[in-house]
Chain A
Amino acid sequence: MSTELIEPTATDPAFEREQRDRRELEKTWASEPGILSWLTPTTHHIIGKRYIITAFVFMLLGGIEALMVRIQLWRPENHFLGPDLYNQTFTMHGTTMMFLFAVPVMEGMAIYFVPMMIGTRNVAFPRLNAFAYYLYVIGGIFLYVGFFTNTGADAGWFSYVPLSGPAFSPGKRVDFWAQMITFTEFSGLISAVELVATIFKLRAPGMSLNRIPLFVWAMLVQSFMVIFAMPAVMIASTFLLMDRTVGTHFFNPAEGGDPLMWQHIFWFFGHPEVYIIFIPALGMVSTVVSAFTKRPVFGYTAMVLSLIATAFIGFGLWVHHMFATGLPQLGASFFTAASMMIAIPSGVQIFCWLATLWSGRITMKTPLLYICGFIFIFVIGGLTGVMIASVPFDLQAHDTFFIVAHFHYVLIGGAVFPLIGAIYYWYPKFTGRMYDEYLGKWSFWIIFIGFNITFFPMHILGLKGMPRRVYTYPAYMGWTWLNQLVTIGAVIIAVGGIIFLVNVFISAKSGAIAGPDPWAAPTLEWSISSPPPKYNFVYIPTVRSESALWTRTNDEPVITGVRTDRREVLATRILDAEPDHRYPIAGASIWPLITSLTVAFGFIGSVFFPSWIFWGAGLTVFAFVGWFWPKRTHNEQPEAAR
């Protein structure tokens, strides 16, 4: 390594060199021409954007299902949907929102922003990234093909056995659900591994562990949670599918199986899943709060430790979903204690944000409004969470609308509000244009008020005894007017959502030009043009604090010598991010798409004929041969590799 000085003025050689490097990078990172540009991209911007758009399409479908459920519950003895379609609709709503929207949209945001925030050109395994996206979208389409052909899953989003078992759910409905799980979790696991490798190894020099932006920290912690939680739901859905299609007896008590095992395995995934959705949102909150208070987040170390503590405790809570199953008292007490304990790291973070807001110079733009909405709603959801952590209360509230209210407060309040705030915040980076502030503020207030009109009365409905998942109710129960209030609230949310979408679409065409950094924000993605070039940085930057752009000085070095004539990034050491080696990465490739199709052939085929899983595996071997076919035959110079 050598250090030289460059004077970037219009006449000197350094400036010309930068222009030359930029032109070569444009060529190296360009998409394939024609139709191939749709089928082969592996750059993280394109894959990330596809994730986000696909997830929002699924969210619209899930939202329409929610409105259908609310119309059905508008008045007693309603026959808008009927019991069978109602079961499918609420199951599809929950399944879509959890598996096809909430997790993938967070992965998409990370895939889009993490490489820019850590100062590199792409994720560590670009083809795997594309492969994971295709699996997700195929799984989602598969589920919806089922729904539109009267094969929609109808046993609830957690498909408890024995209801979902072969005896009580004949037909293919639950099989479609179970195999969709395999698709999306496989996809989520791949994204997680890839984010871990990217964050560990491709950070810009100087970005030691204590200088990683908080959103990136959140995604790192979330990825580890995915790695240890999602295998559980794949095992569970595989057991269920085998019980249903092959005739195994995992959940059949007559042959030594046990239905309760489903709940244990499912919730061992299902509870961490909540934090898998919620932790990225925490990272978004920190990002937005810091940018709109013009100061680093108060208590960086405490924030990171809280994220990690949340992740650990999140694995010790699953039994609190099962208090009504008659557990031993000691077990129930342990999980009650753990459920209350998780309020501690969450509280630490809330106080850190409040301290940041207290001591910062606040600019109250739409993104920060959403964050304030988050704090308000999430605290209410957290408080009802502490209530239902207590076994006697939980036994009363179990399977009532109180629970529905609670988890919408924590999931919409805890994840969707920060997400929409983050989308407004990063909108200039996505599109190069500003969103409309006026429409943005209207959308916030309408969604915020609509949300509380929708979900607050559900607490009362639950306490009045209204159970979840009933398709109708008699008039004498006295639930009618509250249900009507809830439905009105749902429509208000929909109006706010439409304003949000209108804002997104109109501003993309006619918004004011944003420039690289409209917020004067501290993280590296704001140092490059909007929308970002495909290679992100002409020269890999170096950083010297967690708010890299706020502490940047003119003598801060940039990295040269990473090759521009092929796709290559700089790999750094895991702790202190010193430059380690140059790391060539894959370019455009058709094989991720082909491999995802062969895998899908096995997965989808095995729903109907179990042995097709082997045909799918065989085809996948061929696809992998194409994927990994090496390009070079000559032996490169032996290097001092160790």
Chain B
Amino acid sequence: MIRPTIDVAELPEIAFTERSPLWWGAIGMLAIEATMFGLLMSAYVYLRLRQDIWPPAGVSLPHLFLPTLNLIIMILSCLPSYYASEAAKANSPTGMKFWLLLNVILALITVGIRWDIWNSLNYSGRSNAYGSIVWTILGFHTFDYVAGILESIGILVLLFAGYAGNDIRKAVDFDSYTWYFVVAIWIPLYAVVFVWPLFPKF
């Protein structure tokens, strides 16, 4: 009996994007989060369409300037994230350190601005259903956002501590596309939370 073999020892040990199981795992997790945020937005729409006055009396909406500025910085922070992932693919520790650090700095600035916006709201999650849904959207997204930043900081610490290798490269790449997601999903959430209430007639 003759049994031929195919030898795969020469194949690489690391792959990126749709060739990597990790990428598909991340896509699955992001699909879950996208569904969650989509449902939160649906809940917002559902509650709004059942009210005549939106937002309810007594709620003062924040000025658009700070939220918009924040959104722009968030989008900009994706650039260093992208370059960090390219550095990971090219296996360049210096590139990963530099771009990831820049990404973290920009991200921390946006957290500060968001803190300021949040503190300026004159209602809370306990005030009424409007407050409940807006605070929940802000809360869920901030949780996600801060988790993403902590992840970047963790990787950054390891990079500066001299860790290298395929695990770290995969982590940096993973960190970048989860970061794009958490920024991208904020665009519709921003529109729903900050822009839409400015048009009381729908």
Please report A residues at the B interface, Cβ cutoff 8 Å. Answer: 1-9, 14, 124-125, 128, 189, 192-194, 196-198, 200-202, 205, 227-228, 230-232, 234-235, 238-239, 242, 246-250, 252, 255-258, 261, 264-265, 268, 539, 542, 554-563, 570-571, 573-574, 579-584, 617, 621, 624-625, 628, 630-636, 638-642
Chain B residues 28 to 56 lying within 8 A of chain A, measured CB to CB, are 28-29, 31-33, 35-36, 39-40, 43, 46-47, 50-51, 56
When the two chains form their complex, are residues B6 and A231 in contact, meaning their CB atoms are under 8 A apart? Answer: no
Q: List 10 tightest A-B contacts by C-beta distance, closest first.
A: A561-B9, A193-B28, A256-B129, A248-B132, A635-B164, A257-B129, A197-B24, A201-B21, A561-B8, A231-B35
Partner of A562, one of B8, B15, B28, B130: B8
Bound state CA distance, A610 and B79, in angstroms? 37
When the two chains form their complex, are residues A558 and B129 in contact, meaning their CB atoms are under 8 A apart? Answer: no
Closest CB in chain B relative to A635 CB, distance in Å: 4
Number of A-B contacts (CB under 8 A): 238
Q: 20 A-B residue contacts at CB 8 Å?
A: A6-B4, A124-B24, A193-B25, A197-B21, A200-B21, A227-B28, A228-B31, A228-B35, A235-B40, A239-B136, A248-B131, A250-B133, A257-B132, A555-B4, A557-B5, A558-B3, A560-B6, A583-B21, A625-B154, A636-B165
Bound state CA distance, A53 and B35, in angstroms? 31
Residues of A within 8 A of B125 (CB): 242, 246-248
B171: interface (CB < 8 Å): yes
Bound state CA distance, A264 and B46, in angstroms? 10
Closest CB in chain A relative to B49 CB, distance in Å: 10
Partner of A4, one of B1, B4, B32, B154: B4
Closest CB in chain A relative to B18 CB, distance in Å: 7
In this complex, what residue of B is CB-closest to A223? B28
Chain B residues 154 to 192 lying within 8 A of chain A, measured CB to CB, are 154, 158, 162-168, 171
Bound state CA distance, A562 and B13, in angstroms? 10
Bound state CA distance, A370 and B167, in angstroms? 47
Bound state CA distance, A640 and B130, in angstroms? 53
Residues of A within 8 A of B29 (CB): 193
In this complex, what residue of B is CB-closest to A585? B21
Please report B residues at the A interface, Cβ cutoff 8 Å. Answer: 1-16, 18-22, 24-25, 28-29, 31-33, 35-36, 39-40, 43, 46-47, 50-51, 56, 89-91, 93, 125-133, 135-136, 143, 150, 154, 158, 162-168, 171
In this complex, what residue of A is CB-closest to B56? A256
When the two chains form their complex, are residues B126 and A635 in contact, meaning their CB atoms are under 8 A apart? Answer: no
Closest CB in chain B relative to A271 CB, distance in Å: 15
When the two chains form their complex, are residues A559 and B6 in contact, meaning their CB atoms are under 8 A apart? Answer: yes
Closest CB in chain A relative to B76 CB, distance in Å: 26
Closest CB in chain B relative to A461 CB, distance in Å: 36
Partner of A7, one of B2, B8, B126: B2
Say whether, besides A231-B32, A250-B43, A570-B8, A8 and B1 are in contact (CB < 8 Å).
yes
Closest CB in chain A relative to B36 CB, distance in Å: 4
Known: A632-B165, A632-B166. 17 other contacts (CB 8 A): A2-B7, A6-B2, A192-B28, A246-B126, A247-B125, A249-B126, A252-B129, A542-B6, A554-B3, A559-B5, A560-B8, A570-B8, A580-B19, A581-B15, A630-B167, A641-B14, A642-B16
In this complex, what residue of A is CB-closest to B43? A261
Bound state CA distance, A256 and B165, in angstroms? 54
Say whether, besides A248-B126, A555-B2, A227 and B31 are in contact (CB < 8 Å).
yes
Closest CB in chain A relative to B191 CB, distance in Å: 20
Residues of B within 8 A of A128 (CB): 25
In this complex, what residue of B is CB-closest to A563? B9
Closest CB in chain B relative to A224 CB, distance in Å: 9
Say whether, besides A193-B29, A581-B15, A560 and B5 are in contact (CB < 8 Å).
yes
When the two chains form their complex, are residues A202 and B5 in contact, meaning their CB atoms are under 8 A apart? Answer: no
In this complex, what residue of A is CB-closest to B154? A625
Say whether, besides A231-B36, A250-B129, A635-B93, A571 and B19 are in contact (CB < 8 Å).
yes
In this complex, what residue of B is CB-closest to A639? B12
In this complex, what residue of A is CB-closest to B91? A638
Residues of B within 8 A of A1 (CB): 6-8, 10-11
In this complex, what residue of B is CB-closest to A229? B35
In this complex, what residue of B is CB-closest to A256? B129
Say whether, besides A7-B1, A255-B128, A261 and B47 are in contact (CB < 8 Å).
yes
